[in-house]
Amino acid sequence: MTSMIKTGMLMAALTAVFMVAGQAIGGSNGMILALVMAIAMNFFSYWFSDKMVLKMSGAREATQAEEPELHQMVARLAKRAELPMPKVYIIHKDTPNAFATGRNPDHAAVAVTTGLKSILKQDELAGVLAHELAHIKNRDILISTIAATMAGAIGTMASMAQYAMIFGGRSRNNGEGGGMIGNIAMMLLAPLGASLIQMAISRSREYQADATGAAICGRPQSLASALQQLENLNRRRPMDVNPATAQMYIVNPLSGSRMANLFSTHPPMQERIKRLGALTLANR
């Protein structure tokens, strides 16, 4: 419950940044326009984001005949999680990774790379799949999609502010908003603030999915072992994925510097493993 309250507060903060950005560009009319844009984009994200993510990732739906063992494992874990059976997708990449998508539990999908199946033991694979089912159970997919959409829109509005400043649009706006100073602040601070809030939302939901996934599979140590292997292999062999979809994966599929990792949407791996270790001790 505490995690959900924290996520709700962060989503409210992201919405506030969005509306302030609109006000900085176009005064009260800009703020209203920003709110309308937020509603429209969230509606689009709710209905179509899963299809877009699966297509961008090169995922292909796998039938039960093609992947009987994988389907059986997902079905068993979904039953334990009290979830409908999601669709199963395969991504033909050697680097082990996975993600879940879909607007709700009745319209969800789990995608895994071919490398994930070939590298992990059965109990470790179950831990990864349980983590992804936890995202579905906790409605994290919708939350992260909305956060990503709004953060991207704020970046677009920052570009609009730049054009407004260059062409003097604000001088014709009856003096509303922050003028040139407001536009400069908008261009610099709003995208940064939105990215930091999106990062905090994603990290909070990852911790919760680890805990829920551990409960679903019943073996926190198996999930911890899988996460460590995935972290090491993704660092050595980063995946070629669209950066917009990177936050969906169970571990960061992109390579990056130590500084870039500070702004990653994924929480530090050692902290995730530490928390799972605490769950293992608590279950003994």
- Give the active site residues: 132
Structure tokens at 237: 């062999």
Q: Which residues, at least 6 apart from 116, have a Cβ–Cβ distance to it below 8 Å?
A: 96, 97, 98, 125, 128, 230
Sequence-ordered alpha helix ranges (H) in 59-103: 68-80
| Strand positions, DSSP E, 32-132 | 60-61, 87-91, 98-104, 107-113
Secondary structure class of 115 (helix, strand, coil): helix
Question: Tokens 């090491």, residue?
Answer: 232
The radius of gyration of the chain from alpha carbons, rounded to an integer in Å, stands at 20
Q: How many angstroms from the chain centroid is the CA of residue 139? A: 11
